[in-house]
Every structure is written in structure tokens, then in C-alpha cells.
Structure 1
Amino acid sequence: GDNGSSGELNNSTFTIQYSTWAGVVWSTNNAQVEISTSGVNPTDSQSTSLSLDSNTTYYIRLWTNDEVPNYSSQSNLTSTVTLANSVSSPKIAQVFVTSVTLNWVDLPASPQSSSAEGYRLEASSTNFNGTGDIYSSVTTHVSLSTLTVSGLNGNTTYYFRVGSLNLINVPNYISANSTATLTYAPGLAATNFTSVQSSSINVQWTNGGNPAGTSYVIEISTDNFLTLLSSSTTTSLSTLFGTGGIGSPLDSNTTHHFRVKGLNHNNVEGETTVIGSTSTLAKTPTVETPSFTNVALSSITVQWRDDNNPSGTQYVVEISSDNFSTVLFSSSTQMLSTLFGTGGAGSPLDPNTTHYFRVKAVNHNNLSTSFTTLGSTSTWANVASSPDFSNIYLSSITVEWNIPTGGTEGYILEASSTNFNGSGTVHSSQTLNGQITQLTVLSPILDPNTTYYFRLGSFNWNQVNNFTNFGATSTLANVPVSTNIVTVYVSSVTVNWSEPTGSAEGYRLDASTASDFSGTILSSETNSNVVTTLTVEGLTSETTYYFRVGSFNWNTTLNFVNAGSTETLTLEDELAPDVVGDLVASTRTATSLLLTWLAPDDANTRPLNGNYAIQYSTWDGVTWSTNNAQILISTSGVNADNAQFRIVESLDPNTSYYFKLWTSDLRPNWSVPSNMPVEMTLSNEPSNLSLVTVSSDTMILTWDALPVSPSSETATGYQLEASSTNFDGSGVIRSSVTNSVSLNTLTVFNLDPNTTHYLRVGSLNEKGSPIFGTILSTASLAKLINPLASDFLTVYVGSVTTQWAAFPPTPILDSSEGYLLEASSTNFDGSGIIRSSKTTNVLVSTLTVPNLLPNTTYFFRPSGRAAPLKC
């Protein structure tokens, strides 16, 4: 009131003094602020603003005066602290799922009025409207200009303010921008993938704590995100990719990788959750045409289509012989075909058996499609066994066989004159009776005297053939026509005829004393198809003979026609053939001799038509007679003075044999015995030849000596021969001979040095004729090396170098193939170690032997031929 009276205060003031020190002199004279009280009623609340320093403690007193002015007593002493200056340029530095970091320009550390006692950062999802939680972070360091608010919720928009703290920690706020926290990483669902199909996959996840309405980016890749196949943004917790959903239809049986991340309200992506991967289902395989390839006796290859499944898709294919009441074999493959049986999956299949097949695809997760039925087929039947020609005719051929193992459903017999090369006519006959074992090729009829190639096929249940080619044969040639007996003699008859239709490959004329030709048959033949006359010789006089003429086909099979009969003329021959006077026996082997002579003349039978009788014996006083002859030879068709020979075998070695020979005609009249030659078989060959010693001009051989007795097992000695030309008739043969059968070693001398020699040893029979066996070969040594005045060039602790006069490169007799230098500390007595060095260069005249022991005496020999050298 005024003057103690209540009411308005008019024409008065409030006088205010303030100071940063409580002990200041308080006086209206020191007051800094006067405020008019005009119109102020008692108890009215009053306020005013003072221009003070920031972050400073102020003490304040107030007086009220009237218009006189009369001042009231001073008010109570009050104090307060001004706010600190606010920060500038607050910015959001980092945003996380549950925290946000802000920074600003920090206040100076002094003076106090320009500084602060720290800072307070606050966050509110309701923009500090008094609702919701306020999250804060405080620092008492004025120089720290960054704070982080934690404990926030994911994907939530927060409003931020930064307060600078004064001396009593009262903040002076300044608002910052708002932002949304990042999303939580989405969680994994109990089942990540639902409704997996061949071209689509539905993937799901959990919110991971993110609030409803959060957006998610779901991505799909086939290469684990080296590249991105497709992506989708959704607020739901699942997405369908492929057919009926996002993107193009997915490839079947392909592994797809999935990952998901949240988008906050600022459209910023959060942490990615890898959901994992799964494979689309494989597509059910489809039927390929044809389903079966390479059907064989014990195997079948089945194939199918992938229906666009990718390469690497696994297929399970099964085979059954009872339409899958049971499964015979199963095979897993990435191919589009499988071979069952021999060479493939499972054991060899049974022949002539119907097999059923089905296939399914398996994806990378081992999930299978349903089976696709591929159908059925039969393995081949076994080929008929032992097919052979049973009847051969002019226009047909019959074949017989045995029923094959496993049976068959029938047969087809085919014949081709062109060996089934695609040209010509294929003649055939078939049956659907698997018990038949004979067929005749009739349609169309075969040509005569034509070679046909045959194959026999066995039908399986699908009437597919399994052929076996079993050879070729020729139909019969037509028989000769217009046969006629032309001439008849004592011991021969001549018949002629005309060529048959279709020709022939030759003819044979048979004569027999039996009309059915069951007895002895005498014959004459030709391989010319233009010769139409033949004579049978060696017939008996005054005898009725029946004749037939046969045409040869390409297989030399005959087709006969009877040519009539006649009686041979009466024999009046009383004169034997001439005597053989030039019988010669020649040495051949240890168990055989060669006889040669000229055929004698027979004045009544030309050419000869009888026999030679040969008798031989180891004693010339034996009874010589045709009855004792060991060898009988026909003379049919032999003309006088023809050269004759006979090898007599199975004789004893080293044995003399005497020979006599007689000649007869058909009557028979025998000639007087021939001259009596004698000849000795060779001895048995020496065995187990072996080289003993080789030098530059000599070689020594050894062998197993023959026994001293009996005479047929022994020899009179041995002959060793050496040739540098392998006994080809040229060059010089060096030899050495011994007359002792017990001696088993010989030496051949005067050989050329450095030359390959061929050696043989022959045992001598009693006539001194050798029989040679195995030929050995080896090279003689080169000549001895010529030493020089000084043999040694250098001598070191562990090696010695030796020199000599080198051989010339030519001629070869004076040359060598190189050199060998050997060193021995025991003078080559068979003990100790021999060190060596060699060269193949004939012009080299020094060699060094390494690895020698120090302070040791060594003996050296170059090329192993010179006398030892002592060093």
C-alpha cells in the first residue's frame, strides 16, 4: 500500500539492486533498476528481466517507494544463478538401433559467464510434450561436445535437445534435429522356407523386436550374393519369390540364398540377417523318345529329358523285371541316361527279359519328385549256339542250331551274297517258335554256285533280333550236262561233258567198282571251269567201273551226276618199268636223309601208273625185297626223267643207311632193284653253348659234351667256326676242330680285333660232317693300348689321371669303341674295390679315376687289356 494504506501504488517505483556478492552495500542509491508501480495492486505478482551475465550467481534486494518518495525497508535477500549460454550447431552424428550420438560446438572453459558446467542430451519420442519417456546422457566436462543417448527403441523417431548446465546444473536447452533409430536385425522363423516349389520359394522371418509397420528389404541370390537375383520391400514378415510372387519364375533345382534387413522411418537400412539357403524343387523328368538306346544282351541304356532342370541335377533311375513289385537295381546319376547291366549299374541283366524303368529327380536338399514311368523293353535273347549248315542245295540252304541259354521267342535266318553291305537281296526265313532249331532259306530262291553270308537272329519279347554272323557257304553248282564216256583203256577211262548253267569252279570225275560209290574211289579233277574232259587213271584191267562227274562250287563242294559205266580193256603188259640207276642219298639232318632220282620209263605205261618201293637198312647184307620195303609211293601221272625225291625220316643220328628202290606198273610188274647208295645221318647238335673268354683275336666257347656211347647218341668230335658275316657265304670263316667227343671247349684264333663275330659249334658224325646249332655273337676286344713313356699325368690325394696313345678312328680293326680305365689297390686279385672311369670317344687319350684312398698304392689297367701298371 501507500503510506500504510492499502490500494494501488501510484507514482511510485520498485527499486532493485543486484550484485554477484552478498556482502555488497545494499542501498537504493546503489540500485540499478527502477520499475514503475503504476496500477499495481497489492498481492499482484511482479516480474522483470535483468540483463545479467550468463552462468553467474546473483544476489538481489528490492525496495518500494512512493511518490514522495518514501522507500520501504529492503526486501529479503534472494539469490539465483543465470543459465549458461546455449550450445550452437547441434547435429546428429551417429544413429544406431538403441542409441543416437549428437555433437555440437563446445563452450569455452572460461570465463565462467561464457562457459558452462557441462551438458545434458535428451531424447523423447513425444517431442517433450510431457508424455512418454525421456532418455538422457550428461557430462560435466565443458570441453566434451559429444554425447550418446542409449536405451532407445529400434526404428523409433526421437526428438533431441542439448542443454548447457549452469552452476547449479540447470540446463539451458536448444533443440536438435529428430531422427529414427535403426531397425533391429530381423529374427529367424522356426521354419525359414514355406511352400518351396520348382519355380517359387516363400521365405519368412520374425520382426526381431521391430515395431509393427517396419519395412523390410528381402533379397534373393543364386551365388551367395556375388550378384543379386531380386529383392522386395515389404511390411509383412514373409515374401514369395518366383511364380506368383516377386520376380521371374525361379530356376528349378537351384540353391537360392536369402537375407533380410529392416528399413527405419528415415528409410535407412538396418543390420542384415542371413536367413540361409534352400533349393527349389527339381522338375519331374519327362519321357525322351526313344526311351531306350543301346539295348543289348545283358544291358540296357535308358534315357529321359530334364524338363529344364539345371545341369548337376541328381536323378534316381530304377529298373525292375516285375513292374516294380520289386526293384532290381537303382542308380543315381547327374546324366540324362543310365546304362544298367554289363558295363553299367548292377549285375548283368538276364537275356530275353522285359525290364521296366522309372526315374525321379532329386534337388540339392535331397527332396525327390514323383517317379516318371519310362516304359519297358526287353534285353536281347542269346544268340543260337553252334549254328551250322546241314543241307546245301542248288537254290536253298538249311541251317541247324541249338536253343540258346535263356530261351528265345523265335528266329530269323538271313542270307546275303554281298555280306549285308546294304546292296543286293537279303534272303530270309523266320519263325516265332522258340523251340524250332532248323530253318531253310527259301525266299527268294538262292542262285546256284553263289557264296552267301549267313546270320541267325534270336527274337526277344519285343521281336528284336540278336544276330550272330556264323560264316558263309556256297550253294551247289549245277551238275554237268551231256556226260559221255569218250575213251576206254586198260587202266584209264576218259569222260567229257558240257558246262552247266551258272558255270562251276571246276570238276571231278570219280570211278568206282560199286554203283553206289561205296568202295575205293579213283578220281581226277580240275579247278578250271572251262575244262570239260577228265581221265581217271590207275584203273584195274577187265573191270567194270561206274562213273560220276561233279561240279565244284566256291566251297569246293561237289554236285554229282552219274556218267554211266564201262569195263576197262584187258591188260597184256608183261614188261616191268626200267631200273633206276641214279638213286642218290644225301645228308639232311640228324634223323633224316634225302633221296633223289630220275623217274624211269615204262614202255607200256606212259606216264607211269604204279608205285615206287623203297627199302633202307643200316646193314648192306640185309635181304633186299619189295616185301621188306618200308616206303611205298604212287607213280600215277609221273613221266620218265621227272626229278623225284623223298625225305626218309625217323632215322638214328650218326648212323649209316643203305637204300634200294623198285618201280612197278599196275599189273604189277616190278623193276629190278636200283643201285645201293649209302649215307650217314648227322650227329646230334651240341647244346648249351656259352662264351668263356673273349680277347682281341681269340674266343673260347664251351658246351655240353655228347655221351661216348651209343653210336647214335655220340659224335666223332666238334668243329668251332667264327664268321664276321654271319656265315652268309662272304668273308673268312675261322675254325678249330677236335676229334674228342668228351672235349667241350674250343678256341678260335686269328680273329679281327674290335669286330662282331658270329660263332657256331657243330658235332661231327663218323664222316666228319658237322651239324651246327645255335649261333652266338659277340665283339672281339680292341687291340692293346700302347703305353706312353709316362703313364700318369697327375696324381692327387683322391684321384689319378692316366694317359696313353689313342687309337685312330679308322680302320675299325685298329680302333676301339672307347676306353675303360680301372684302378685296384689289390692288383685286380678279385678282392677290394675296383674304381673306374670310361669314355666312348676313341680320340680321348686320358681318363681320371676319382674316389681313391689317400696314401694308397693302386694298380691301373686301361681298357682291361694291358699289363697292370704300378704307381
Structure 2
Amino acid sequence: PASPSSSTSRGYRLEASSTGFDGSGTVLSSATPNVALASLVVAGLLPNTTYSFRAASFNRNDRPNYATAGSTSTLASAVAALPAPFLDVFASSVTANWAALPGSPSSASARGYRLEASSTAFDGTGGIVSSATTNVALSTLTVTGLEPNTTYFFRAGGLNWSGVAHYVALGSTSTLADAPGVPAFGAVLLSSVSVSWSLPSGGARGFRVDASSTNFDGSGTVLSSATPTGALATLAVPGLLANTTYFFRAGAVNANGAVHYAAPIATATLASAPVQLASAFLDVFPSSIAARWAALPASPQGASARGYLLEASSTNFAAGAAVVSSATQSLSASTLTVTGLAINTTYYFRVGSLNPNGAPNYTVLSATSSLANAPANPSSTFTLVGVSSIAAQWLANSNPGGTRFELQLSTASDFSGTPASSVTFNLAATIESLTPDTTYYARARGLNHNGVPTPFTSLASTVALASQPGVAAPAFSPVEASSLTVLFASGSPANPAGTLYHVELSSFSDFSAAYSSDTRNLAASFTGLSVNTTYYAQVRAAGASGFATPFTSLGSTATLSVPPGVAVSTFSALQANGFVLSWSSGSPLSGYNSTGTLYVAEISTASDFSGSVYEAVAVSTSVEFGDLLSKTTFFARVRAVNYQNIPTAFTPLGSTRTADPAEPEFLLGTFEVSDAAGNFIDPSLYTDTTTPHVRVRVQGNFAPGLSVGETPSQAALWHLNEGSGSTSVDESRHDKTLTLTNSPAWIGGKTRGGLGFNGSSNYAVSASLVPWRNSAANNQWSVSLWFRSTLGRGFLFQVANSPNLAAGTYDAELSWHDANGNLSFEVNKGNTRNIISAGSTYADGDWHFVTAVLNPSGMFLYVDGALAQSGSATTSINARTYAGPTHAWIGAASEQGNNMGGGNYQYFPGDIDEVMISTVALSAKQISQLYAFGSVQGHELGAPSVDVSTSAGADLSWVRRATATFSISGSKGTTAVQVFVSSATPLRQTDSPGAQTNQVMFFGSS
């Protein structure tokens, strides 16, 4: 302290001695009078020297009072840093150097050195890595355990005797990055190679890849590629020579740009690829293919190669699939063949030039298919032989599925011309549109996937079946009385010319006995046949194959009839009104017609038959003509008609004259009417307006006497001659108008006009016909009409209780039966429908006359004047009667009755004319006369024809205007006086003939 004086001093002195203050050496000191100062520095000391120190305080007499301060060494001299302080830098160690201190004197030397490294610049953070040595001559130290790719700051210092270092900063450097891990080649190409690696631990500031063809021996050029991206693991070195071996080293770049290389690896660049030629394949076989390319030059090396590799793949080199190959080390060889290929398989080809490593550089040569094998012959070639088609088969002969085969058929054994062919993936094929009855030669070949064919395999020959002959039109021509020629067609498809046919002709439809003819023409003639005989013909093709076709029926025809001959007695049973005409069935020269031949005889008053001609048809050789004019010359001729309705020429039979007539005369005739008192008086004396009775007295002079002609009563009569409009007048004068619905067509009818019905909508309905069919007394009746149709269906006639469709009560149907299809007549007995059917439909397009009759004996159906069918279950006594109106339906049914209509048809498709409803049951003779009047003489219904012969031969006829509602009774068949008296029904006199005029005609019959 500064005071008190006893506790203070006059100052201080610090002394240093390298000899321990032993009296030798130099003592260096430093003093201060400042008692408050507690430290002093002694300068001028020697480096790297141990000094003893003592400190003294001074009294007033400046005498020191020493206290020992201990000893220490001065620092060694600082080392001198070199311009390049770092000798070796590695990923985990760095070696540094400096200028070494001298070994002596001690003050110029040191006890050794220490090297320290810090990644934090010795800022007190982070770790310090160091290395030391006691060898003062060693000026190099290495620190290890460093982190790769890390910047470290370095310092080095000489050690004094206390081991304290006198540091000098050496600067900083970065450890190397770890070398890239496991370098490997990526893409090895013609002029570049890529190298890849795994990223090193500790990372890198980038990477570098070097390439040297001399293994980095200092000669040659080193090519490299670098990246500053530490995350990149691949680099490619470009600019390389082709077909050259290069050594590659991959290095990681640290922060200083230093590269840490991995061990080099070597590979060769690819050789130049072969050049493809326009035609890549020299030879193609079923199991081998030879390919070619342009050869590479022998030099320079970069344009050459070490050989070639040819590869073929059926999967276009799919991964894992089999590859067939062939290789050569000859550079001049530009052709290789791959063998062991599958038959008819598409292969994809590539050829590679080989580099020194044997790695190929491929050129794709496109694809081709190996050839197929020719098919092999089977044990049986033809599986089907038809008329116009042949199916053949063959064996695969090891060809795989999917192989195409071509079958050819030819009519020429050398297959000249254009053969028929078929291409298939199967082992069999069918060729159609062939010519029947023709020999075909067969062969087959395989086609590979490129369509290249194999040689043909012969499959022998066969013959196509003949076509079944067809029917010619006409099938028979010419046809004569004892011969005919059968014609037929060659079939479809047509048989060729020269096909053999077998024709049979027989008068039996089952050909149990037959004529036959074999011909190569389409016609066969037969002679020595029977006259007017039906012959059936059939034909089949025999065929060169040995198989005959089925017979084709050619139908039938009849040989012609021969003209009839003149009989020994031509005219017999000659009378005033007729005679019997006879002829013979033929002549010795022409032959004779067979029994059953139809003959048509004609007589006429004109020798050239230009006037009226009477015709008779017979199946015998004579016919009777009646109702002729007496005292008249008639010329006769006859011809035969065969079964085909073909007539011969007429044979003239001469002429004859009918006898004089025995005409009856009326000896007595009176006509009387009764007055109001019932007395018969002369009509001239008549004055009343009502005539209860009529009396006629008449007597003839010729047996058998007189007969009364009575015209049946009519309920309605429609001639259908209007030609237009929607109604038709009732010609019976009962005013039962016929109303047309949906416009049936007005047409030319059987006599004059008629109606055409469409079969779908139109029809005609009458006004009510009461009292017709209102009671059993009014239930005898007849319905007559003419019809024409080609379709047997619908309704010609029906009676219904309504003029509208869907009537509740109906019957009396003229229609066609649903089951048998024939023309039928139906009448109800109570609620039971009774139907009778004819034996035909009559739907032949011709006019037919039908009459339906109901009488006490039953139902009767007449067609064309002849009885077609009858039935007794329903009669006029038990048949249905109508309590209300009765309407006639024509051309349709109000309601379709069960089992009628021809198959569920309500409307009639056809034509109708002359409809008459009679209130009596006509007899068979009356119906026959009505048919004759209409079919031969053209008379309308309701107009009887009465002929009165006179000396001049004139005809007289009249039209009935009304039918008397009274009956005429009297004796018949006597030459005595005949008296006929009317019934009690009053008759009305009119001023002039009209609807109520009663007419009675008496005929004198001889």
C-alpha cells in the first residue's frame, strides 16, 4: 500500500536469470517507483530459454528485498510459413509443412512442433484436431480424423521447454470429398460413354469424369466431363473415338476444386453400326435364314469393328424371350445364317458390329418369316364332293397353327389356265361355284406369313356330282298321237355338255313299268306310244362320278287323240226335233282313240258352221241332239280331245234333215172371270174391281195332253247391271233394294254387269225380306248366283237379322269351309250349325253358278247345274226362323260363322253377278235349266226362254214381270177338256199391265 510508510516501499524491481541467480550469467531486470504497480515486464530475454524470476521492493535506501517469483521458459522462435504450406490433402487428413528451426543454439531452436486444424478458425467453437513432434528437424506434420469436403484452418508452432507452442497461421484448405462410390458404365455408345456412381458420404461440390485411351499414363488426350451439381450421379464423356478402349475415372470435387478420383474402370466404345442393304435376306428356308449387310472397313480403328453378331427373335426381342444368333470375327464377312428356327414363324432381325469388348452396335434389318413346309398327303383327300363344290384336306407337316394353305382345283391335270383356289388357315378347304359332273385335279401348298408359297403337293383328283336336272318349259314337245319328246333342263348349276341323263316315261305315276332312254342331250324321244294316254316323265343325271342324282319329276302329258272316223251309220233315231249322231274312234291309218276319250260333236244349219252351232260333249262315239228345228238340214262334224284338252281336227260327218213336226193344236180355249156373286162370265162383261176367281178351259188334240208351266215365286232378284251408283234395283218388283257399302267395283259380269269385291272391306246388303223365313211355312227357299274368284275364302252370301256388321242372328251361308277349303253351304238348326261341302273350291278364275236349296228333305248345294252335296240334318221344317227382319248379305258376312270363311276371312275377294232369292225350293231340273240359260244362251236369271215354232222358224220370248201369288190347279196329261181354277186369293184388275198383272202360259206338248 502507499501508506503507512512501514507498510509501503520506494518501488519495485523484477529480475530474470537464466542461471538461477548463481552469480553467473546475466541478470536482466525491470523496475518501477510506482508502488501501486503490481506487474513488470523484463525484456531482452532469449527465446526458448528458462528464466528464474524474483521481485524486490525498495526501502528508502533503495535496497531491495527479494521474493522468488518462480521460473518459466520463453517461447521458441516462431516458425516461418512456406508459400505452399499444405503438402497433401486427403478426405480425412491434411499434411502441412513450414521452415524448420535450427537445432542450436537453444534460443534459436525449439523442443519440437505442434500442428493444429480447426473448421471454425480457432474461434473457440468446434473441435481442434492436432498433431505434434519433438523432432525440431521435422517440419512436416499430418492431422487425421478430418471430415471430408470440409474447410479447415491450420496453425503450426515451435514448442518451448514448457511444451508451449508459438503458433504461426498457415492458412486454410479443404479436405477432399470422398471418392464416388462404385463407378459403373451406363450408356456405352459410338462416341460417348456415361459413367454413374453412388454419391459419397459428406457430399461433394461437384463431380468429374475423365477418359483416357492410354490409362492416364501421361500420353494421349484426356477427355472429361464435369458438373458443379453435387447431387448428380451420372456424367457422359463425349467426343470419343468409336471402337476404342477407354479408361474412365470418376472424381468428387471439393470446395477447393480438388478432385478425389475413384479407381479407373475401362470399356470400349461401340463400333460403327453395320449399314443395311435394300435387300436384307439372301436365303430363307423353313428352319434357317441368311441375312446380309454392308461390311465395315478394316481401318481406321474408329470406323472398323472386331466382327459381327446376327440375332433373330420371334418376339421382336422382348425381354426374357429366346433369341437365336450367329457371330463371326471376320470383318470382311457381311453375311451370317441363323439356324434352328421354327417353321413359318416371323422373325425380327438385327445385326451388330462388335467392339473390342464384344459388345454389339445393332442395326435393325426388319423382319421376315421362315418358310412353311409343303403340306403332306392325308390318307383320304376329299371330305365332301358336291354338285358345285369340293372339300379337300391335307396334313400340316409340322407347320404351326396360323399357317395359311392354298387349295387349287383345276379341270386340267397340269393346272393350265386359271384354277379355282381357296386360301385358309385350316387343314381343309371348300371351293364352290364349280361345274357339275366335271373331273377336278387338286393340289395344295403352304404360304408363310410373307405369302411365300411352298411347292405344291398333289392331292389326286375327283369328279363333282351332277346337278339334278331341271324342268323345261314346255316339258313335252312335240307331242303326237303315238310319240312324244321329253324336254328337260341341265339343272342349276347347269351340267356341262355331254352329261349322261336317264329318262323314264310311264303311263303309271309310280313308274312301276316304264320306257327309258339314256341320252347326253337335253331331250329324249319315245315312239310306239298309246293314243290319248297320259304319260308321266322323270329324269336323272347319271354323272361321271358314278352317283346318279334323284329323279326330277317332269309332270305328265297325254298323247294326242286321233281324228274320229266316220261310222257306218252316222245319223239315227231321226225325229222332228232331234237325232242321234255317231262316229268311230279312229281309222286303220291313224289308229284308234282309247276308251274314255272325250269327243266334241257340233251341228249347224250352215255347212261352214258360220251360223248357230249346237255342241255336245261325249265320252262315247255317239250323242243325241234335241230341241232342234223340224224340217231343217243340219251339218255335222266331230273331233276328239285328249286328256290335255288338245283337240284334233274336225272330221266332217255329212248332213241330215229333221222330220216334220207333230205339233199340238188347241181345239177349245176360254178364259173367264167371276163376278161379285161368284158366277163365271166373259172378261168383256166384267164390271167389278175385284176378281175372286179365274177359270180357264182348254183342250188339245194331241196326246199326252197339256202341261201347266209355273215360274217359281221370287223374294228378290238383282241383275247388277246399273254400272254405277251405290244401289242395285230389285228386278222382282218387290222393291228390295240392294245397298252397296265401301264401293264394290262395277264390272262386266257373267251376262252384262256385275260387282267386284276387294276381299277386305266392301259388301252389299238388301232391304228387309220379311216375311221370308219368318215361319216354317216361309222357310222353303233357293238362293242362286254367279261368282268368279281365284281365292277360296270370304262369304258369297249370308242371311242376318241386321243390315249392320256383327249381327246377333245369322245363317244360310255360302262360303268356304275352314278345314277342307271347299265351297260349302250352312243352315242353322236351332243353335247348331250344319254345313255341307262340295268337292272343290271352284276358285279357278272362271264363272260358276251356285244354287243353295232348303226343302222339307234337307239342304242341297248345286254347282254349275249339278248336285255337289246334300244333307238331311237340317230341313225347312226344323231350320232356324227369324222373328224380326231378314237381310241378304252379298260379298261378306255380317258376322263370321264358325268353320266358315276359308280360314278366318269375312270378306269375299272376287266377282258376283245375277243374285236371285226364290221363295220355293227349286228342283234339280229347274236348276239345270237356269244354268243352261245362263252358261249357253246368256239369259239372265228370272227370264225363262219359251220357244214357239212357226213355219218361218222365228223365236218368241217374254220377260216375267211378276209372280202370281195364287195357285193354278187342274188336270194334266189328258186330251179331254182341261179346267183350271185359281185359288180364293182375290186378284186386282189394273188399267194397264204392271207389277200386279197376272200372266199364265199354257204349253202344248207333243
* Structure of greater relative contact order (alpha carbons < 8 Å, 6+ residues apart): 2
Structure of larger gyration radius:
2
